Amino acid sequence: MFCKLPLVRSSGFARLLSLGLPAAFLIGLLAFAGCGKGGDKAADQAEDVVLAEVGNAKVMSGEYERRLAKQELKDLPRGEDGATLDMGGLEGKRAFLETLINKELMRQKAIQLGYPKEPKIAGARASLTDYHSGLALWEKAIAEPSGTISVEELQDFYDKMDATRHCRYLITNFLEDAQKARTMAMGGADWDDVAAEYHDGEIPPTGKFEIEVPFGRYGTDFEDPIFAAEIGDITEPILTSYGYWVVSVDEETRLKPGKKPDLEASKAQILDTTYNRKLAKARNDFQEELRAKYKLTINEDALWLCYQGLPADEVILDPETNQPVPQEELKPLDIKPADFDMPFYSYEAEGEVKAYTLGDYKVIFDRMNVFQRPKKNEFLGGLRQKIKTELDKALVNLEAKARNLAEEPDVAFQINEKMDEIMITKLFNEVVKYDERVTPEDLDAFWAEHSGDYAVPRSRNGRMVVCRDRADADKAYAAAMEGVAWRELLVQYGTDRDNKAVAGRLEAVSESATGPVRDALFALAEGEISEPVDLGDGRFAVVRFENEIPGRSVELREVTEEVGKRIKKIRQEEAFQALLVKWREEFPVTVHEENLADLPSWDELTRVETPENLVPRN
């Protein structure tokens, strides 16, 4: 028995929102720039039929279903009344097909204008190929193997979760020093004497080289060898971003009987933590695998010279301006010219050795901004880790290329989708022209007709806990009615990371909002708690109403800037619609409406079965 975690893909559409594009255009872009949510199963199973012909291209039912499955509920087409259209009905299907047609019209116009040949756009394709191939590699090599948590793993974590190991430690810059320190300590030397000889960096404020390691608090690369050791053992050197740790495991303590929560109450936290730990371990293991495959080497002598040349006491914020230190004011890496040709790091790529010298790294370092540069107070291990991190990016690109991941259908789709997005956004910004002047008379005329749109509706504040299913929501409701603190409800029953991150707060939910949470909140009297609310995705929520903020009318002077922007957007939208009419003449459109009826609805494409032991991430 195991739990399979959902893989979450993120949307690049948020970046486009800042462009201030009009509603129709944004909805059109949503058809191909949304957040992966559904999948391609429906499209794969049904016959791919033509829905529309646009110039020399066809809009197919498979594309329609793939793109519709990627939409969030809030982004689906809306009718004239502002309500979301039924995507199982013909009107909703027509509206969504229209967004695909508009997108194709713009794509063909961009190609006609020669956009794909422009250097910046061609360069963007290369970058997107690396990026999406890398994401696919991450998913195959790291995310998918980490997404299964067995009952045995769950129980093993629970058994150890109240354990704390009390240790002594020291940190060295080099593996050889760590090995010597361990040998000295195992020979019976006093730990303080060993640390005095080999510890690099500052002495702890207490003067004692002691650390407590609670199980599950640190990364597995650090924690695993400590908990694998017997009490009284001294670990082999443990490499971290600080350097090489040598740890003496002196004692283990446990919580007193009755203090440890039961397994059921801890399950959500354990699943979430275990997933993150497995993900980190899989990432570290895969990085080491790639470093070995491509024969990555770092010359430790050159690394030490580089570390010594880092500017001392470099800060990120200028104490006088409280702003980041400008790049031109940063000190260069202090390397003697005689050492410029010293080999620093290398790896093999496509049968050739890619080698870099200290001088090469100096050029890279001197161009970094203050945030990118390694700092001397991060120890030698910090410098080593940052160099490896940058090299890992190159190795990931090499491995993705070796596996031909850019040729896989889903990766190619993502690349082409983003390229269309880039070209269409460029086209919109360059060809949609309108009068951007807004006079006082324009403002007054608009306000006379639309002032009611700006009245502030009443809103409500409250609390919510999102639960895995109805059964958990019933338990959360019963606990809430008994007066259990909301934070305890979130810990025991909460499965939504964002909801938990804000302590379950619902702030200023407007009366004009839509959705089951809004409806539940406005159906309650002050202080009341709702029975479980169906969120429509298999999950349920319990809502508490705390207080209400009255609505009010607004005067034009309060929203002059906002109104001016809205007037411009209306003009921009009108200009855009006029261009679409013109482009339909250039690239004739034929719609096969008879093929719309059998298309699945958004609900059908995005319905997901809630797995048992769902980890709280959604």
- In b/e form, how buried is each residue of 557-571, taking b as 16+ CB within 10 angstroms? eebeeebbebbbbeb
For residue 24, give both structure tokens.
Answer: 């129709």
* C-alpha dihedral sign at 95, 97, 98, 100: positive
Nearest to 39 by CA among 609, 511, 617, 614: 609
pLDDT score recorded for residue 413: 86
Residue with tokens 């299913």: 469
pLDDT score recorded for residue 83: 87
Other residues' Cβ atoms within 10 Å of the Cβ of residue 297: 15
pLDDT score recorded for residue 46: 59
pLDDT score recorded for residue 491: 94
User: In sequence order, what are the residues at sequence separation of 6 or more whose Cβ sits closer than 8 angstroms to the Cβ of residue 337?
Assistant: none
- Chain center to CA of 281: 19
For residue 139, give both structure tokens.
Answer: 């998913």
Residue 178 region, left (φ>0) first, then alpha (ψ -120 to 50), else beta? alpha
Other residues' Cβ atoms within 10 Å of the Cβ of residue 507: 11
For the sheet with 352-357, list strands across it. 297-298, 343-349, 352-357
Contact of 503 with 487, CB cutoff 8 Å: yes
Cα three-residue angle 578-584-587, rounded to 5 degrees: 140
CA distances (Å), origin 271, targets 5, 77, 216: 10, 37, 12
> 3-state DSSP call for residue 201?
coil
Using the 8-state DSSP alphabet, how is residue 407 labeled?
A: G
Flag residues of the chain having pLDDT under 70: 1-46, 608-618
Beta bridge partners of 494: 467
CA atoms within 13 A on the CB side of 353: 10
User: In sequence order, what are the residues at sequence separation of 6 or more whose Cβ sits closer than 8 angstroms to the Cβ of residue 118?
Assistant: none
pLDDT score recorded for residue 608: 64
pLDDT score recorded for residue 609: 58
pLDDT score recorded for residue 615: 44
User: In sequence order, what are the residues at sequence separation of 6 or more whose Cβ sits closer than 8 angstroms to the Cβ of residue 365?
Assistant: 332, 333, 373, 374
Q: Write a three-state SS string for 83-147.
A: CECCCCCHHHHHHHHHHHHHHHHHHHHHHHCCHHHCHHHHHHHHHHHHHHHHHHHHHHHHHHHHC
Beta bridge partners of 148: 4
What are the percentages of helix, strand and coil residues in the chain, rounded to 5? 50, 15, 35
Reported as type and span, the H/E element at residue 610 is none
The architecture CATH gives domain 456-549? Roll (3.10)
Beta bridge partners of 464: 543
Contact of 211 with 223, CB cutoff 8 Å: no
Q: What is the DSSP string of 451-481?
A: GGGG-B--EEEEEEEEESSHHHHHHHHHHHH
Cα three-residue angle 414-420-422, rounded to 5 degrees: 105
> 3-state DSSP call for residue 502?
coil
| pLDDT digits 0-9 by tens, 254-303 | 998 888 888 888 888 888 888 888 999 999 999 999 999 999 999 999 99
* C-alpha span between 84 and 89 (Å, rounded): 12
Reported as type and span, the H/E element at residue 187 is none
> 3-state DSSP call for residue 189?
coil
Q: How far apart are the first and last CA of the chain?
A: 22
Length of the chain: 618
Contact of 156 with 224, CB cutoff 8 Å: no
* C-alpha span between 448 and 453 (Å, rounded): 11
Contact of 100 with 64, CB cutoff 8 Å: yes
Beta bridge partners of 456: 552
pLDDT score recorded for residue 613: 44
Q: Where are the domains of the chain?
A: 456-549
Tell me phi and psi for residue 381, to 5 degrees.
Answer: -60, -35
